[in-house]
Structure 1
């Protein structure tokens, strides 16, 4: 099923679509308000982008430096080529310690690798402890947003879910009551777990430390209570020095939710006394993306979700319509590199308005990459007939001046003479809420020739 068809399914619930759109635009507006008090905001964006450029150009050296420093701190560093190897490594650590239940904080990398499903097939109980992640885990569905994974759900739906799964009062929808119920439910899981898994927001080459940014404190509680801590990171999460961290923490929270900084910015440099600390560094297609000159900038992403909050397509189609771990504009330039045939249509899930690039805190040229992916999809023969045939016809018309003039004149005449029902009907979605402008009697070329070169 294409993105367009999945989006159409989401749009059937008009009230939910409007609510989803408004909720995300509210977050985008908070971002705008937050940066309005930072006069150096654009300089921060440029600095963040420049640091990431440096990282991508020296990625091998920084990763090796990180491994050396982390190992010296007593951290056990693992390298995974792909998702399968990542999952095997994590399971191997758990097996070594006889762990059959874990707590996990939000990690898009582990979602990408399918870690939950893999561990559960191996007999390991996995409990996501981020509130939004726990909600969607109880619903057996993937996240629809990288920062707000349950943004597509209303509090009444969550109340019904908690009544079914956690035994809360029927009909309860008060957020404070539901949050307290989740807190009590998760507290038992934290106390029983013998290992904790987190994602990684930033890894510092200079110190060998990793930084995890959260708003709920669940990642800290899991790591502090469990004797074994495992941090899973993509190779692009590295930054050179500790002094660079302040640039990204200022950019991240403001871009994501409009906060000055995340509530918890936790630094992990070495295992706790009597415990073990593991870092699993994962490629999973990232070096391939790094080698694509037109698309390497996508690896600058710090997973703030700002491009999703501003995108008019994402806001009105929902994250699940993208059928990829990372939805929205950033996902639409990452996913074709994973599977062009399966995800190539996502390059067309955009108006190319450029709003995503405008809000990106590290200045990724998202809309330009979407346009470039469209060219590749077309060149590789993955366009559907509904796009391929009209484009073929348009290309033929635009290449021949005489044919172009004839088609333009024919279209203007037909639109003037055709009855309204022939233009505005159920097959013309464009006309459902728009009126065509008044049809001109002549083309621009004819007008220009007439007004600029009047007869003597």
Structure 2
């Protein structure tokens, strides 16, 4: 059983405990997300009109979502005129079936695949393997994840949970010509030697799409390694899998969205490779695929469109900024969330794809509602509001455990009776000060409250009057004037 399968057998709380106990994971997360936050803050600070651009990005996405049928028809018409074949898939299974059938029709024994979260979402890697088609992940981080038998832990840096030392061991065990020097450059060269032959031998290349341009029928891909170009150009057949929400009206709108995407994702002004694929190879072209197929995937998106409580999530451009700035994600990493999409966006999307169940309801509670995710979202998705919406649905559908329901009933009893509330909080404060002692921190709380101190100390209340006592004294002073 792979590491991914083993982890999937655990519930959210077990996965979280496993992540919090992994010292290497914390090191790996801090190295990546800390750098990402710093770079994003710097590049956004150099863009005086970022707030204006952010609002413009929100308007573009909202306009497309409100007119999705129109832009789908326009994209299909123009893509077909370019020589591509457009397919529609209502479900993940249908999307995988279309791709596998296209691979078989091409006589493919192997297929290269550039990084695509949509592909992960629909389970395409497993579908290819089940069909006996050798899958070659060409993104360096996806290659690492494939060798480890795991799934991505971040939508931009799929192998962010791995340290350099762990990657070195993987490459030495898997590559025919492994690196001899323990440097990133030597390890990248080892991966290049391993992958280059597979690039040239594959009959089919499969990519995702960052944007679909309606007025030209073009597919836009954004990478930093050039692996997408190597995936889409040498093979005879190029297959694109993309969610229907990836549409933008025109090249001008795509340029606007690219500025927001790259700055939010990697903290750069532009990625090394931004490519627009407009149909297969034409007469006179020196390279390119002979066939191009575009599989447009719904997989719950029209349900989100019809549900006004979730429609805002269709703006998402998959930059990953929300998880980089999420204090919970930065403690437990991506695998603890159990779905394709981790972090705040995963807390919203996983119940859409997998249904709201006893397993997925926990994701909405893995959030402090601090709002940092919305602050950094380049298209202003109200993620905390959407997450609270799932909490409310879980309550209405009776999925909350009895302990939660009883606990909230007791809290309601106290909170709606001011005298009882003041008395209970005053007593709790005194008890916590006693437990905290001279350290000023509480290492272990009793009973159910002990969950708070499993992996961290809790600050003891400071000496002196409480906030309510100070507020009462202030009101008394002001009332006496």
Match of 1:432 in 2: 457
More deviation, 421-430/363-372? 421-430
2:25–2:333: 8 Å Cα contact kept in structure 1? no
Q: Distance between the aligned counterparts of 1:34 and 1:453, measured in 2?
A: 50
1:77–1:278: 8 Å Cα contact kept in structure 2? yes
Q: Distance between the aligned counterparts of 2:184 and 2:436, measured in 1?
A: 54
Question: Are residues 1:327 and 2:342 paired?
Answer: yes
Q: Distance between the aligned counterparts of 2:280 and 2:415, measured in 1?
A: 65
Shift of 1:47: 0.6
Match of 2:3 in 1: none
Match of 1:225 in 2: 234
1:158–1:173: 8 Å Cα contact kept in structure 2? no
Instruction: Give CA-to-partner distance per residue, 1:81-128, whole Å, 9 cap, x none.
Output: 000000000011111121121000000011011111111111111111
Instruction: Give CA-to-partner distance per residue, 1:132-185, whole Å, 9 cap, x none.
Output: 001100111000000000011111111111111114558753111111111111
Give RMSD over aligned pairs: 2.3
2:321–2:373: 8 Å Cα contact kept in structure 1? yes
Aligned residues: 455
Question: Are residues 1:379 and 2:379 paired?
Answer: no
Pick aligned residue for 1:287 from 275, 288, 302: 302
Pick aligned residue for 2:50 from 38, 41, 44: 41
- Residues 56-71 of structure 1 correspond to what in structure 2 (within 5 A)? 56-71=65-80
Match of 2:90 in 1: 81
Shift of 1:393: 1.2
Shift of 1:332: 1.0
Shift of 1:442: 9.0
Q: Distance between the aligned counterparts of 2:235 and 2:432, measured in 1?
A: 71
Match of 1:52 in 2: 61
Match of 1:266 in 2: 275
1:236–1:300: 8 Å Cα contact kept in structure 2? yes
- Residues 173-212 of structure 1 correspond to what in structure 2 (within 5 A)? 173-212=182-221
Shift of 1:376: 1.9
Shift of 1:423: 6.4
Question: Are residues 1:354 and 2:371 paired?
Answer: yes
1:11–1:317: 8 Å Cα contact kept in structure 2? yes
Match of 1:215 in 2: 224
Match of 1:313 in 2: 328
Question: Are residues 1:343 and 2:352 paired?
Answer: no
1:414–1:138 CA distance, 2 compared to 1 (3 A): closer
Q: Which runs of 5+ in 2 are unaligned?
A: 1-9, 283-288
- Residues 103-252 of structure 1 correspond to what in structure 2 (within 5 A)? 103-169=112-178, 172-252=181-261
Question: Are residues 1:300 and 2:318 paired?
Answer: no
1:419–1:211 CA distance, 2 compared to 1 (3 A): closer
Shift of 1:271: 0.8
Shift of 1:27: 0.9
Q: Distance between the aligned counterparts of 1:442 and 1:300, measured in 2?
A: 41
Shift of 1:51: 0.3
2:442–2:458: 8 Å Cα contact kept in structure 1? no
Question: Are residues 1:398 and 2:415 paired?
Answer: yes
Q: Distance between the aligned counterparts of 2:11 and 2:20, measured in 1?
A: 14
Instruction: Give CA-to-partner distance per residue, 1:182-217, whole Å, 9 cap, x none.
Output: 111111101110110000100011111111111111
Q: Distance between the aligned counterparts of 1:74 and 1:167, measured in 2?
A: 40
Q: Distance between the aligned counterparts of 2:28 and 2:264, measured in 1?
A: 21
Shift of 1:349: 1.3
Instruction: Give CA-to-partner distance per residue, 1:22-75, whole Å, 9 cap, x none.
Output: 431111110111122111111111111100010110011111111111112111
Q: Distance between the aligned counterparts of 2:368 and 2:473, measured in 1?
A: 30
Instruction: Give CA-to-partner distance per residue, 1:284-342, whole Å, 9 cap, x none.
Output: 01111112212211111111111111111111111101101011111111112232112
1:409–1:224 CA distance, 2 compared to 1 (3 A): closer
Match of 2:4 in 1: none
Q: Distance between the aligned counterparts of 2:180 and 2:13, measured in 1?
A: 34
2:433–2:462: 8 Å Cα contact kept in structure 1? no
Q: Distance between the aligned counterparts of 2:24 and 2:403, measured in 1?
A: 29
Q: Distance between the aligned counterparts of 1:30 and 1:442, measured in 2?
A: 38
Shift of 1:451: 3.7
2:177–2:193: 8 Å Cα contact kept in structure 1? no
**TM-score normalised per structure 2:** 0.89
**TM-score normalised per structure 1:** 0.94
